Amino acid sequence: MREFPPMLKIISKISMILFLCAVPFLFYGFGAEMLRIISNISLTDLRPLTFFIGAVLFFPFHFVFKRIIPATWSYLQTLEHEMAHLLIGLLFLKIPVGIRVSAHEGGEVRQIGLGTTGQTWVTLAPYFFPTVSLFFIIIAYFAQLDTKILLGVLGWTTAFHLVTNWAETSFRQPDLQKAGIVKTLLILPIMNLLCYGAVFAFVVGGGKGFGKFWTNGFTETFNAFLKLWRM
């Protein structure tokens, strides 16, 4: 039993190395799928237009809320940030035992379980995981909900995540320093492509589009690997 944690740590490191090796293939596969989705958009398609209208409407809300209710607005931004840490931690079987959220002093999630396994993903989660948007998409996907109002809300929540989490992003951020600059540079671009690509795939094609984004993306990724293998 005492050997389990070291073995788990070794498996975690090997998994990270394999993922980093797969990054170029994932970029190729999911990048190709994103280009296919974008190229098939019609100027008369109301679905992406509704999404972008929702995104644009976020900015006046952001401008007003920062001035009228700055403390509450800052608190909500911190809460969304910390929830990303918490939710990705659950994927690695990390049990939350406490969460602290404040308007002016940041926040913190305390989790236990499996040592440092998956800690890089937990640390970087707010910078690639649009928590609220993907929450709505997952519910809509399984409940088969698909309305223009939902697309507008997705535009609003996606803009919220992009603005509030990326506005203050720099390599001086404790999260990015904790994950390591090299890992950050390798992981964040591909994970943003995957997460925001999934959001946009749902916007354009609904539940079927969301599912096809993943199946087609992984198929293209695997085909790219096979092409290189056979050279």
Dump pLDDT digits (tens) for 160-203.
998 887 765 655 567 777 777 888 888 999 999 999 999 999 99
Dump pLDDT digits (tens) for 113-170.
766 678 889 989 998 999 999 888 988 888 777 788 899 999 999 999 988 877 656 5
| Alpha carbon distance 216, 23 (integer Å) | 16
| Alpha carbon distance 198, 211 (integer Å) | 9
What is the separation of C-alpha 198 from the centre of its chain, rounded to a whole number of angstroms?
9
| DSSP H helical ranges for 40-69 | 46-68
Backbone Cα Rg of the chain: 19
pLDDT recorded at residue 114: 67
The larger pLDDT score, comparing residue 227 to residue 11, is at 227
- 190 CB-side CA count, 13 A: 20
Backbone angles phi, psi at 78, to 5 degrees: -65, -40
30: which 2 tokens?
């999911």
Q: First CA to last CA across the chain, in angstroms?
A: 44
Backbone angles phi, psi at 227, to 5 degrees: -60, -45
